[in-house]
Structure 1
Amino acid sequence: MTNIDIAKSYIKAVQTGDQATLGDLLSPQIIWHQPGDNRFSGVKTGIAEFGAMMGGMMEVAGGTFAITRANRYAANGDMVAIEIEFAGQREGAKMDQAGIDLLRIANGKIVEVWLFSSDPEQEDAFWGK
């Protein structure tokens, strides 16, 4: 399986809520770089911190937060960049924008993730402090 195949499996698992596949793809020691200046921003280390962050995001967004499209995948060694679109809505706020997910893959596992938002102010406003 190539690193692009792993990235495609990751996106599909996120889009379908396939927790078992996510568990297989993510390293237990995942390092996750969440952008912005909001309640979820910062570096999350380990699957427990990542899971708590994602659970909180889904709660705030009422389950509407989703990667709506993955447009392109590009690889460079152990890194894969994915051009995505993501959206969510909650009472009083809506988010819909493009972004980049950058994955570092080692030994068939996603070991580090950096996320980039095209409209950080919109994302911060959506998630809140």
Structure 2
Amino acid sequence: MSAIDVVGQYGAAMAAGDMEALAATFHADAVWHQPGANQVSGDHVGPDAILTHLGRFMQLSGGTFALETESATESGSLVSATVRFRAQREGHEDLDQHGVDVFRVADGRIAEVWLMSEDQEAEDRFWGTA
């Protein structure tokens, strides 16, 4: 299975809200690198920690967080996906940004994820601190 197919499985599981299928797309020691200086920033290691992290977006946004993949390309074990993400949070300006997610795939599973948004400072303000 190609790297882009693995990332496609991740996207389908995310869209369906299928947490078991989503967890299965990650290596046991996968690392999710969340940029910024906010309460969701940092490295999250392993499928359980990654799923908890992703759930935090929904929790903080009152279930409004949405992610759309606009396009994806691959180069060997790397996949780059252009995305648009949106969320609402009481007391904060709505979040509506484009970004790039980069996945490294190894042995048919996602081993690492890096995220880049178009305005990290605005994203930091939106997610805030704990």
TM-score where L is the length of structure 1: 0.92
Question: What value does the CA root-mean-square deviation take over the aligned residues?
Answer: 1.2
2:111 maps to: 111
CA distance in 2, matches of 1:55, 1:4: 24
2:97, 2:119 within 8 Å by CA — same for their partners in 1?
Answer: yes
Q: Quote the offset at 1:51 in angstroms.
A: 2.6
* Structure 1 unmatched runs, 5+: none
CA distance in 2, matches of 1:58, 1:15: 13
Q: Quote the offset at 1:55 in angstroms.
A: 2.4
Q: Quote the offset at 1:47 in angstroms.
A: 2.2
1:48 maps to: 48
> How many residues align structurally?
128
1:38 maps to: 38
TM-score where L is the length of structure 2: 0.91
CA distance in 2, matches of 1:71, 1:77: 20
1:120 maps to: 120
Identity of aligned residues (%): 40
CA distance in 1, matches of 2:88, 2:16: 18
SS at match of 1:87: strand
Q: Quote the offset at 1:8 in angstroms.
A: 1.5
* Structure 2 unmatched runs, 5+: none
1:96 maps to: 96
* Structure richer in strand, relative to its length: 1
